[in-house]
Structure 1
Amino acid sequence: MALIISQQDNTISLEGKLNTATVNNFQTHFGFIIKAFKNITLNIEKLTVIDDSAMQTLKEMYKNGVLNNAMFFIEGKRSEEIFEAFQYPQVA
């Protein structure tokens, strides 16, 4: 299954696989939304795969968000796993 991105206000819901093949499309879509909303919620409840490439991209996006005062929050059953990977990013 490809990655399906849906949006309602400042919440982005992802469904399918977030991997090397789909992460660039997600990053582009996210870039447009973060310009409109300074706080975004990323719902990953329906993601079936998050590979290492996607995890690195999410970390980089988080770091850039901190530096630019544009934050995003992650919710869903695997969000704790992602936040553990984000612990103490070097943003300065």
Structure 2
Amino acid sequence: MDLEITKTNNFFQLKGILQRGNIHQFKRELSNIFETQNAVILNIENLTSIDHYGVNALAQLHNESITKGKKLSIIGMGCDDLYEHFKSEETAA
């Protein structure tokens, strides 16, 4: 299954697999999002898999939100790899 991204205002629903082969789609869809939105919500409930490229892409979006003083919320039970990444960063801080 490929990555499907649906958007309603500042709410993005991710479905499928977020991996190296479709990171360009994810980045294209969310490029400059913080230029037009003060808050973005990503629902990852329907992501069935995510590789380290996908985790890094989400981490980069998270870093961009911090740098620009914007809000990024990632909701849904999604994949364990993503939670482990942010959990390890939180522990290191």
TM tier, shorter chain?
A: 0.7 to 0.9
How many percent identity over aligned positions?
Answer: 25
**Contact 2:3 2:16 (C-alpha < 8 Å) held by counterparts:** yes
**Contact 2:13 2:42 (C-alpha < 8 Å) held by counterparts:** yes
User: In structure 1, the residue corresponding to 2:42 is in which secondary structure?
Assistant: strand
Report 1:48-63 matches (<5 A). Answer: 48-63=48-63
**Contact 2:55 2:81 (C-alpha < 8 Å) held by counterparts:** no
More helix by share: 2
- Write the distance in 2 (CA, Å) between the matches of 1:33 and 1:67: 13
Match of 1:15 in 2: 15
TM normalised by structure 2 equals 0.82
Cα separation, partners in 2 of 1:38 and 1:32, compared to 1, 3 Å = same
Unaligned runs of 5+ in 1: none
Cα separation, partners in 2 of 1:9 and 1:64, compared to 1, 3 Å = same
Cα separation, partners in 2 of 1:32 and 1:60, compared to 1, 3 Å = closer
Q: Which amino acid is 1:7 matched to?
A: K
Q: Which amino acid is 1:22 matched to?
A: N
Question: Structure 1 residue 7: deviation in Å?
Answer: 0.7
Instruction: Determine if the alignment matches structure 1 residue 38 to structure 2 residue 38.
Output: yes
Cα separation, partners in 2 of 1:29 and 1:65, compared to 1, 3 Å = same
Match of 1:2 in 2: 2
Question: Structure 1 residue 25: deviation in Å?
Answer: 0.9
Number of equivalences? 90
- C-alpha root-mean-square deviation of aligned residues, in Å? 2.2
TM normalised by structure 1 equals 0.82
Match of 2:65 in 1: 65
Match of 2:24 in 1: 24
